[in-house]
């Protein structure tokens, strides 16, 4: 069978710290590979080498020159798209949705430059694909109903399927996917499995990074990192998690401000949010008492992110609604920083847009001030506390590395440390374990339990995986199509 890629004694990683050493791996036509391994083992870097976006540190690598396509994780690949949809708060502005391009325009590469006032003044290139072909592929990947939606209105799962469609339209020989199931609900994961199996049947070779539990049926072989062990899928034995309930992180005591006095962290009264003609939240009433631990559940597009954006002061439509935060009616003179200082927060959007050039130490320390990076001089006791917090999260080896130099899972762990460093009375964790390996997920889940079980800290926890939800959670808010489901 023809070879599509060949590694011989290859080292992959950073020049002074290869993550993968002595890799001997051949991808042949007709094979479909899953790449598995712990957080930080080099999985995403390996895909970047296959996509010709990075080079091997040593050894040799050869690949087929044409037809290799890496599916992007967001719209930042397109300057015009990202210019109208970069800052995550924009998705909560009603006007921003109408300014962003439609899925059809993105797929046909007919996106108008950002800031265009007169659409007729822009001469766009001809459509990239024949309409019947685009409709055929859109139908196969179940995105036909999204074609004339604006990209800023798409849910996580809808965005993933749109980007997969964009890549598959190119008829690639090899399709590379980095954790395509992250952030998807059960139904969206099922659809994506069907999509990938169909793509494999079409003759395109799949190479994807995925947890062992999400390997598609079409995959024939598995590459385990960092050792580079290649086995047929039928012989692959998933690793067993080693973390246990006795292995929590021990965080240093916080010597800063005390928690404010309040009885209710959140009281929503008939809250509704609409973007254009789309109703996102539909008459939601909800009370969260001090110290309660809630799971916020619902499929992609059910309104969870919008609901959380009201609480974290990131949604400008807050002022058109009636609700209290920490026993104070929203919109009665408090600043967004008054709200944020009482909330520890991590989410996929925060991760996506956090500045990657900040060092790990500065990212974590910035949590003391709720800023997207550290921009002020710390006092000696604050520096010492940040150092102790870094060590507690076992991130000391990464202290002076830029966030961009870490794996996706390591970046998420840094942002989790940032959310906890100021010991907030309200902790909002939106898909916090995305990108973490099983050991890290269990460790973090059990740590949240230890931090929450015997305190009056209030917790909101969002996840599409029941095994990730801490045992301290005793209450559930379910959303579907913007409505509260009892």
**Given pLDDT bands bounded at 50, 70 and 90, which one contains residue 351?**
confident
Give the model confidence (pLDDT) of 249-266 as tens digits: 778 887 777 888 999 999
Q: List, in sequence order, every residue forming a beta bridge with 427; answer none if it has no partner.
A: 344, 459
Range with the poorest average pLDDT among 8-17, 132-141, 446-455 = 446-455
Task: Return phi, psi of residue 297, to 5°.
Answer: -120, 155
Give the chain's length.
486
pLDDT of residue 52: 92
* Model confidence at 155: pLDDT above 60: yes
pLDDT of residue 263: 95
Q: List, in sequence order, every residue forming a beta bridge with 267; answer none if it has no partner.
A: 287, 324
Instruction: State how far the Cα of 335 lies from the Cα of 341, in Å rounded to an integer.
Output: 10
Instruction: State how far the Cα of 301 lies from the Cα of 152, in Å rounded to an integer.
Output: 12
Instruction: State how far the Cα of 448 lies from the Cα of 251, in Å rounded to an integer.
Output: 11
Give the model confidence (pLDDT) of 116-154 as tens digits: 656 666 788 899 999 999 999 999 888 999 999 888 777
**Given pLDDT bands bounded at 50, 70 and 90, which one contains residue 81?**
low
Where residue 249 falls (left for φ over 0; alpha for ψ -120 to 50; beta otherwise) is beta
Largest Cα span, the chain? 70
**Given pLDDT bands bounded at 50, 70 and 90, which one contains residue 246?**
low
Instruction: State how far the Cα of 271 lies from the Cα of 479, in Å rounded to an integer.
Output: 13
Task: Check residues 406 and 8 and name the one with the higher pLDDT.
Answer: 8
Give the model confidence (pLDDT) of 198-211 as tens digits: 999 999 999 999 98
Give the model confidence (pLDDT) of 96-116 as tens digits: 556 678 899 999 998 877 656
Q: What is the pTM of this model?
A: 0.83
Q: Where are the extended beta strands (E) located within 347-436? A: 426-430
- Domains of the chain (ranges plus CATH)? 264-485 (3.40.50.300)
* Model confidence at 271: pLDDT above 70: yes
Question: DSSP secondary structure string, 14-57?
Answer: ETTEEEEEEEEEEEETT--EEEE--TTSSHHHHHHHHTTSS--S
């Amino acid at each position: 069978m023809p070879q599509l890629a060949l590694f011989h004694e290859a080292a992959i990683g950073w020049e002074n710290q290869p993550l993968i050493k002595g890799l001997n791996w051949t991808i042949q036509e007709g094979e479909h590979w899953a790449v598995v391994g712990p957080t930080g083992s080099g999985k995403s870097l390996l895909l970047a080498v296959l996509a010709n976006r990075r080079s091997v540190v040593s050894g040799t690598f050869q690949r087929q020159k044409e037809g290799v396509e890496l599916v992007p994780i967001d719209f930042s690949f397109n300057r015009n798209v990202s210019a109208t949809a970069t800052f995550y708060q924009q998705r909560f502005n009603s006007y921003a949705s109408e300014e962003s391009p439609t899925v059809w325009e993105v797929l046909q590469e007919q996106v108008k430059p950002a800031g265009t006032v007169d659409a007729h003044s822009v001469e766009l290139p001809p459509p990239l694909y024949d309409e019947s072909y685009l409709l055929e592929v859109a139908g196969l990947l179940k995105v036909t109903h999204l074609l004339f939606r604006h990209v800023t209105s798409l849910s996580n799962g809808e965005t993933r399927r749109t980007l997969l469609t964009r890549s598959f339209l190119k008829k690639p020989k090899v399709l590379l996917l980095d954790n395509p199931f992250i952030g998807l609900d059960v139904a969206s994961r099922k659809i994506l499995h069907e999509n990938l199996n169909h793509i494999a049947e079409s003759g395109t070779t799949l190479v994807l990074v995925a947890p062992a539990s999400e390997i598609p049926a079409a995959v024939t072989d598995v590459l385990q990192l960092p050792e580079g062990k290649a086995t047929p899928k039928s012989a692959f034995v998933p690793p067993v998690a080693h973390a246990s309930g006795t292995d929590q992180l021990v965080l240093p005591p916080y010597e800063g401000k005390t928690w404010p006095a309040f009885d209710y962290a959140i009281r929503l009264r008939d809250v509704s949010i609409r973007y254009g003609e789309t109703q996102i939240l539909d008459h939601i009433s909800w009370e969260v008492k001090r110290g309660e631990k809630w799971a916020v559940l619902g499929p992609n597009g059910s309104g969870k992110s919008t609901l959380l954006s009201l609480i974290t002061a990131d949604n400008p439509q807050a002022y058109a609604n009636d609700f209290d935060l920490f026993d104070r009616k929203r919109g009665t003179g408090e600043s967004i920083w008054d709200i944020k200082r009482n909330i520890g927060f991590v989410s996929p959007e925060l991760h996506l847009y956090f500045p990657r050039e900040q060092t790990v130490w500065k990212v974590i320390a910035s949590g003391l001030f709720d800023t997207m990076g550290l921009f002020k001089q710390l006092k000696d006791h604050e520096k010492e506390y940040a150092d102790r917090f870094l060590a507690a999260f076992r991130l000391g080896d990464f202290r002076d590395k830029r966030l961009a130099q870490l794996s996706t899972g390591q970046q998420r762990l840094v942002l989790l440390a940032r959310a906890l460093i100021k010991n907030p009375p309200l902790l909002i964790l939106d898909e916090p374990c995305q990108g973490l390996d099983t050991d890290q997920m269990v460790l973090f889940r059990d740590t949240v339990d230890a931090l929450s079980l015997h305190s009056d800290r209030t917790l909101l926890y969002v996840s599409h995986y029941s095994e990730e939800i801490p045992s301290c959670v005793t209450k559930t808010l379910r959303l579907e199509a913007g409505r509260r489901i009892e």
